Amino acid sequence: MFHVLKLTYIQPLDTIEESRAAHVAWLQEEIQAGRLILGGRRADQTGGVLITGDIGDDEAEDVMASDPYQQADLVSYERIAFNGAFRAPGL
């Protein structure tokens, strides 16, 4: 299963920025590990969107729980699982 992880900031943006370096380092680690394949801030700057690799529900929950933003109670997460039946070559 692939997952869309939608983050919504629940604290002011200046508070989010204080933890951004730790969050970006975490993102890079998760991408290197293959658990995340794409991520970025939403255009309206109210949160972010992450796309996981082909991982199970429990692993997706672990990814969300390990986010420094989540650990600092700065975001709420919504997870949408999908089967990824149609893919671009190489995914």
In-domain check, residue 70? yes
State the pLDDT at residue 91: 65
In-domain check, residue 12? yes
Tokens of 8: 């919504």
Q: Give the count of domains, the chain.
A: 1
Nearest alpha-carbon partner for 39 in 10, 12, 64, 13: 64
In-domain check, residue 40? yes
pLDDT category at 87 given cuts 50, 70, 90 is: confident
Q: What does the DSSP 8-state code read for residue 91?
A: -
Tell me the residue ranges of DSSP E strands in the chain. Answer: 2-9, 36-41, 47-52, 75-82
Asked if residue 90 has pLDDT above 90, the reply is: no
In-domain check, residue 39? yes
Pairwise CA distance, residues 75 & 67, whole Å: 9
Q: What is the pLDDT of residues 23-71, one digit of tens each?
A: 999 999 999 999 999 999 999 999 999 999 999 999 999 999 999 999 9
In-domain check, residue 50? no
Write out the residue range of the structural domain in which residue 38 sits: 2-44+64-80
Measuring CA to CA, how many Å separate 22 from each of 3, 60, 67, 87? 22, 19, 9, 31
State the pLDDT at residue 88: 84
